[in-house]
Structure 1
Amino acid sequence: MSGPLRGSEPDHPSPDGVRERKVVKPTPPELMEDAGTGLDYGIRPDRAPGYITPIDRFFLRSHAPTPHLDAARWSLRIEGSGVREPITYTYADLWDHFPLISMVRTIECAGNRRVLFGEEYERKFEGTQWGRGAISTAEWTGVRLRDLLEPAGITPKAREVMPEALDEIQARRPMPLAKALADDTLLALAMNGETLPLDHGYPARVVVSGWLGAASIKWVGRIEVSEHPLHVPWNTEDYVLIGPDYPPQAPSLGMPITGIPVASLVELSWPARLRPVPQVIRGRAFAGENQVTAVEYRLDEGSWQEASLAPPEIPGAWVRWQFSWDPQPGDHIIRVRATDDQGHTQPDTVPWNELGYCYHPVLSHPIRVESTT
C-alpha cells in the first residue's frame, strides 16, 4: 500500500523544531477534531449549529499540504484520448463564459468512523484515524463539468473522466463519463457564498455528488478524458474495499468505492454527558447519491421509534432529524438507523475490509445522565 496516499505522516519539523502547519485555516479543538496527521481535521458533531457547515469547521482531508496557487497564472487543461481537441481555460474564463449554478451537497470521506470500526474488530486500521467527523455540507457554486468538457468534443468511445490535482502528489481519481456529465457534477469556484478557500481547493475543485470525498478532487489543474479505463493508486490500492466479501476487480486489489452508504450521526460528544431534564436529541443522516426518507431511534432496550425529519430534504445531502427525550439518571445507549429512498437501511454490522472503509452500521452511542442531587 502507498503510505503517502493516506496522509498519515507526521508534520514536517522546521529548522527551529516548531511544527510547520500543512493547512491554512485555523483548526481550534473547540471546533474541529485533530486526526493526528497535520492534514486532516473533522467536524465536532456537537458543534454543528445549522444545516450548512460553516467554512471554519468544514472537515479537511488532504493527501499533501495545501498548495498556494495564483489564480492569475492558473489554468485548467482538458485533454486525453476521449476528446477531439484539447482545450485550456483560465480562471477568468470560468467566471465569465459559463453559466454558474449553486447546489447544496454533502461530502464524506470513505474512512469516516474508521476508529469505531477498529474498536469493533479490536484492531487499528491504517489510514486517517477518523471518528465521526469526516463529513460536512456546503453550498457549492461553479460550472457544470459537462459544460467544460463538451467544447473539447467528447468522442463516441469516451468512457472515463479523471480530474487531477496540483498538490504535491497530483491526487486524482477517475469516474465514468455518465457521472462526469451528470447535472450535479460541478467544478466549484465558491463555497457558502465565498470564493473557494485555499484548504478547500482554490482556485477550483470538483464536487462529485454522493460519491466518496476522494472523488471530489481539490486544486484541479488537469482533467483527462479517456476512451480506456484509467487505473491509478486511488482506485486500485486505496479507496477500495479489500476483504473476503469484496472480490478483486483487477488491477484493483478489491472493489473501488463509489457511492457512500446510508449512515447517521448523533449531534452529541462520544461519550455524551447530559442532565436529567427534558431535551431534544438531534442529528444528521446521509445516504450518498440517494435521499434519506426515514430515521428511527432506540433508547436502551426499548422499541424502535420514528424521529422527525427537518427540511430541507435534498438528494446528495444530509437531512436533519430529532426526537424529544426525558432522560433519567444513569447510563444509557442511543441507537439510530436511517433508511434511504432505495430501501437501504443501516445494518447492525458490516463485513470487515482491510482498510476500514465505509463503516455505516447502527452505532451504540454511550450516554451518561448525571443526577443533579
Structure 2
Amino acid sequence: MSNDTSGIEKPTPNDWFSIPEHGENSNAETRLAELEGYITPSSRFFVRSHNPTPTIDAASWHLRLYGDGLAEPMELDYAALQAMRQTEITRAIECAGNARAFFAEHYGQQAGGAQWHTGAIGVARWAGVRLRDVLENAGVTAHACDVLPVGLDHKAFARPLPITKAMADDTLIALRMNGERLPADHGFPARLVVSGWLGAASIKWLGEIQVSTQPLHTHWNTRDYTLAGPAYPPQPPADGIPITVMPVMSVIELDWNAELSAGTRTIRGRAFSGEGRVARVEYAVNDDPWRNATLEEPNIAAAGVRWVFSWTADPGEHVVRIRATDENGHVQPETVPWNDHGCLYNAIIAHTVRVTG
C-alpha cells in the first residue's frame, strides 16, 4: 500500500516510508527500521520538497550563471557538465526539521512545519562537478561574496551560500546518485550537495546560479531555516540566526513504539555530525548507566557512522536512549531551546520499545 504523496514521482510504500503530520504531499520520511547497510538506496531516500517534483528534459535544460561576482555570464548544458572532470563523495543530507515532532513532546506545543521523527536523513554517493570548477570557468572574481543557487521547481526555491562554502572541495553540482542518474525526486538533472549543511542548502533541480559581490537574502535564510525565538537574537534582515552546519545527531533503526521479542537482540542505528567524524556513540536502557556502542566502518565526516550494541531484552516496556559525540567534542544535549521554526532538534530522544515474552 502506498502513501498519499502525489507530489513525488517514485513509489512511497508504507513498508519504506511514513508521511510526517502537517507535511505537504511532496514529503516522505524514511522508515529507518527497514534500512540495511551504510548507503541509503535512492528508492528509500527521504524526500523533502517545498513543491511537487517538476518534469525536466535534460536535452533542453541548461544552467545559467550570472552576477557581478563573475567576469561574464555563462550557460552550460547537461552534456557540458558531464564532460567536465567528475568527483564522487559520500555525504549525508539531513532536513533541518528532522526530529521536529519532539518539540511538541518536550514543550507541549508543536513547532510549525512537517512533524518529522528521525527519518529525514539519508546517506548517498553523489557524483558530479565541483561547484568551484564551474565558478572558476565562469571567472569568479576576488570580490565575490555570496552565491545564490535557484531551483526550477514552480516557486523557484533559493538559498544563498557564502563564497567560501561554494568553493569548498566537497560542494558539488551532482549529476548522479548511488551510481545512477539523479532520480527526479532528488534533483534531476542537477542539484547541489553542500556537505555538512542543512538539506535546504542542497538545492534540487538547479537552474541558475547568481554570484554577487554583496550579501544575498531570500525567504529561506531570513524567515525560515533560521533559529528564531527567545533564545536566539535576530540577525537582521533574518528573524533569528540563519542555519548552516548540522549538529551531532543519532538515530535508532527501530520504528516508534517498536515491539521486539524477548532475548538477545542486536540494536542498530546511525550517528552524524556536520562538523566531522563521529567519535563515540553511547546507549542507556531505562535507568542503566551509559555504555559505549560499537562503531562500524566506514566512518566518514559529514556522512556519519553506523553503530551497534547487543541487548538482553526482558519482557515489558523499556526506554532506550542514544547519544553521540563528534571528533570536535560536540555532544548531543539533554534538551535544546525552543525555536519557532522547529529546526535542529538534536536532543537525546527516549525511544520506547515493548518487549513481548
Q: TM-score range by the shorter chain?
A: over 0.9
Deviation at 1:257, TM superposition (A): 0.3
Deviation at 1:355, TM superposition (A): 1.1
CA contact (8 A) 1:42 1:134 kept: yes
Deviation at 1:272, TM superposition (A): 1.3
What is the aligned-residue RMSD (CA, Å)?
A: 1.0
SS at match of 2:168: coil
User: What is the letter of the counterpart of residue 26 of structure 1?
Assistant: P
Q: Name the structure with the higher strand share.
A: 2
Separation in structure 2 between the aligned mates of residue 367 and residue 162 of structure 1, nearest angstrom:
44
Counterpart residue number, 1:80:
67
Counterpart residue number, 2:14:
29
Gaps of 5+ in 1: 1-18
User: What is the letter of the counterpart of residue 183 of structure 2?
Assistant: P
Deviation at 1:123, TM superposition (A): 0.8
Separation in structure 1 between the aligned mates of residue 159 and residue 341 of structure 2, nearest angstrom:
18
Counterpart residue number, 1:363:
349
Counterpart residue number, 1:143:
129
Deviation at 1:61, TM superposition (A): 0.5
Deviation at 1:289, TM superposition (A): 3.2
> What TM-score do you get using the length of structure 1 for normalisation?
0.93
Task: Give the fraction of aligned pairs with identical amino acids, expressed as a percent.
Answer: 52
Task: For residues 268-309 of structure 1, give each alpha carbon's deviation from its aligned partner in whole angstroms, at most 9, with x where no partner exists.
Answer: 111111111111110000111321110001111111110000
User: What is the letter of the counterpart of residue 81 of structure 2?
Assistant: L
Gaps of 5+ in 2: none
Separation in structure 1 between the aligned mates of residue 5 and residue 115 of structure 2, nearest angstrom:
20
Question: Does 1:228 find its partner at 2:211?
Answer: no
Separation in structure 2 between the aligned mates of residue 177 and residue 290 of structure 1, nearest angstrom:
21
Separation in structure 2 between the aligned mates of residue 204 and residue 157 of structure 1, nearest angstrom:
27
Pick from 199, 207, 213 the counterpart of residue 185 of structure 2: 199
CA contact (8 A) 1:209 1:289 kept: no
SS at match of 2:48: coil
Separation in structure 1 between the aligned mates of residue 137 and residue 61 of structure 2, nearest angstrom:
19
Task: For residues 329-353 of structure 1, give each alpha carbon's deviation from its aligned partner in whole angstroms, at most 9, with x where no partner exists.
Answer: 1111111100001100000001010
Separation in structure 2 between the aligned mates of residue 272 and residue 109 of structure 1, nearest angstrom:
24
Counterpart residue number, 2:78:
91
Counterpart residue number, 1:9:
none
Aligned length: 352
Separation in structure 2 between the aligned mates of residue 280 and residue 199 of structure 1, nearest angstrom:
33
CA contact (8 A) 2:5 2:28 kept: no
Deviation at 1:50, TM superposition (A): 1.2
Task: For residues 103-140 of structure 1, give each alpha carbon's deviation from its aligned partner in whole angstroms, at most 9, with x where no partner exists.
Answer: 11000000001111222111122111211110011000
SS at match of 1:251: coil
Separation in structure 1 between the aligned mates of residue 342 and residue 181 of structure 2, nearest angstrom:
34
Pick from 83, 86, 104 the counterpart of residue 118 of structure 1: 104
CA contact (8 A) 1:284 1:318 kept: yes
User: What is the letter of the counterpart of residue 21 of structure 1?
Assistant: S
Deviation at 1:20, TM superposition (A): 8.3
User: What is the letter of the counterpart of residue 357 of structure 1?
Assistant: C
Counterpart residue number, 1:6:
none
Pick from 232, 236, 260 the counterpart of residue 250 of structure 1: 236
> What TM-score do you get using the length of structure 2 for normalisation?
0.97
Alignment of 1:287-366 (within 5 A): 287-366=273-352
CA contact (8 A) 2:111 2:339 kept: no
CA contact (8 A) 2:229 2:339 kept: yes
User: What is the letter of the counterpart of residue 39 of structure 1?
Assistant: S
Structure 1 segments of 4+ aligned residues over 3 angstroms from their partners: none
